[in-house]
Each structure stands twice: as C-alpha cells, then as structure tokens.
Amino acid sequence: MSTETTTTQARIRDVLRLHAHLTKDVDALDSSDDLYAAGMTSHASVTVMLACEDEWDVEFPQRMLTRTTFSSVDAIAAALAELGATS
Amino acid sequence: MSGEAGRDVLSRSSTPALPRIGCDLQRIDHVDRAVADFGARYLDRVYTDAEQRDCRVGGAPSLAARFAAKEAVLKLLGTADGVDPREVEVTGGGGRPRVRLHGRAAWIARRTGTGPIDVSLSHDATTAFAVAVALTRHHDHDENDEHDDRHHQGEEHR
C-alpha cells in the first residue's frame, strides 16, 4: 500500500470518526468493511460526503450519490480518486 | 408529472396495482449536528427552498421528519442510487404533507408505475419517523436497472 493511499485512508477514517456516527470503532474496521453494517445511516452518509468535500475541496456529482460510493473506506477512497482528490 | 398523470400511469397498465410502503427513522440530534457543522451547505444540498421555509419554525425535528420522509419514499421506490435528496420534496408546514418528485426520482416513479405517494410524519424529543405509501404496478423493481438522464430531466411526479 503506498504512502498516499495510507494517508488518504487515515483522513477518511478521521472524517468517519467525526461524522459517520458508527456503532463500531472505525479503527477496528478493515478498509473494505461495510460502513452501513457498522451503523452508518443514509443521513450520516450525507454528512460524510459534505465533510469529504470540505477536506479535499471536491464536489460529489449527482451520479455518485449512491449507496456504493460511501459503503467502505476503500469505496470512498476510490470516489475521491475519481474526483481527482490528492492525499 | 401531475397527480392526474400519476393516476393515469396506474390506470393504463394491465398489471394489478398493489400497495407498497416505505418507512424510516431519523435521529434529531444528528440533523441538529449537521446544521451546526455544515450550515447552509447541508440545508441546500438536502432540502428544497420550500422545505426549508416549512421547517423554519419547527427546526431540527421538522428537518429530521422531512429527511425520514425522503428516505421512506426512496425505500418505497426501491432505490436511492443517483437520486438527489432534493428530488423527493415533502412540503406542508402544518397540514397534510405533500410529496412531489423531480428528476430521477420522478423517472423511477413513472417507470415503476407508482401512483401518487402519501406520507405521514411524526417525531418525539429524540427521533423522527415517516411512512410512505403508494400503489405500484411494478412489483419487482430491479435496483440495478440502468437509467438514462435524457429520459428524466425535468420530470415531475406528485
């Protein structure tokens, strides 16, 4: 795993810690674990999206407003990469 | 798409119309926190101008009930993928709430032969709740159906 990937995933975990209202410790989750299964609600996924937009200065387009986009740390990292966000 | 048009969708099909429901709970403190953290960005990304006006007095409990209603409607429709939260609009400050669908949400309703949608909202001190009900002709909506933006831009469904 590259340093850039590690940094991005750490920042995503920071965002999740503040905004996802998970019922499990975010650091105990694998990057591929389902965040909805870990307690994230649809409303929390909206606030996670807004926090990611602030953190990386990007905007999620409507086509990316899907359950899959915010389903895991890996999925969020992939979405941010697609939006051109850097670590 | 008007209410009359929504009923026409049901009357034209030979498939029997069956009731479908959706429901959702929403923590009020999570909405309160979102407003505190993101302010107008949160409000403008999730709620239409009309919804924000309707919730001006009621505050976070009213916003939470609206959000629960949006989710209840999306569960009824069978998918939330690609739907902007503002495309499910729930208005009505004091009286019976009214659902208006726009964009992809309206397109999904038309495609699934879903008639006019009724919602009921409630909340206590901590949690908001909403239930949505409608008749639909499409009983096994495939959540992975491809959608085409050309077909639903500007559509409205009540």
| Cβ-contact B7, B115 below 8 angstroms | yes
Nearest-CA distance A2 → chain B (Å): 31
Query: CA–CA separation, B4 vs A75, rounded Å?
Result: 41
State the average pLDDT for chain A: 93
Residues of chain A neighbouring B45 (CB-CB closer than 8 A): 46, 50
Chain B residues in contact with A21 (beta carbon < 8 A): 27, 30
Q: Is residue A11 part of a domain?
A: yes
Split into its structural domains, chain A has a count of 1
Condensed to tens digits (0 to 9), the pLDDT of residues A12-29 reads 999 999 999 999 999 999
What are the domain boundaries of chain B?
3-138
Residue B154 has pLDDT above 80, yes or no: no
- Helices A3-19 and A42-56 cross at an angle (nearest 10°) of 130
When the pLDDT of each residue in chain B is averaged and rounded to a whole number, the result is 85
Please compute the mean of the pLDDT values over residues B111-117 and round it to a whole number: 92
Q: Say yes or no: B85 contacts chain A, CB-CB below 8 A.
A: yes
The domain in which residue A70 lies consists of 3-82
Average pLDDT over residues A35-58: 97
Structure-block tokens of residue A50: 């807004």
Q: CATH number for the domain including A28?
A: 1.10.1200.10
Which tokens go with B57?
């007095």
Q: Is B26 on the interface with A (CB under 8 A)?
A: yes
Residue % of chain B over a pLDDT of 70: 78
pLDDT the model gives residue A6: 78
A39 touches B at CB < 8 Å:
no
Specify the higher pLDDT residue, B150 or A57: A57
Residue whose C-alpha is closest to residue B28's, from B57, B66, B76: B66
Does residue A77 fall inside a structural domain? Answer: yes
Task: In whole angstroms, give the CA distance from residue A72 to residue B48.
Answer: 29
Q: Between helices A42-56 and B28-46, what is the axis angle to 10°? A: 60
Per the model's pLDDT, the better-predicted residue between B10 and B79 turns out to be B79
Domain B3-138 has CATH 3.90.470.20: yes
Query: Under an 8 A CB cutoff, do B84 and A46 touch?
Result: no
A87 assigned to some structural domain: no
Which of B24, B29, B30 to mutate to test binding with chain A, by most A CBs within 10 Å of its CB? B30
Least CB-CB distance to A43: which of B26, B38, B83? B26
Q: What is the pLDDT of residue A62?
A: 87
- Residue B115, pLDDT score: 85
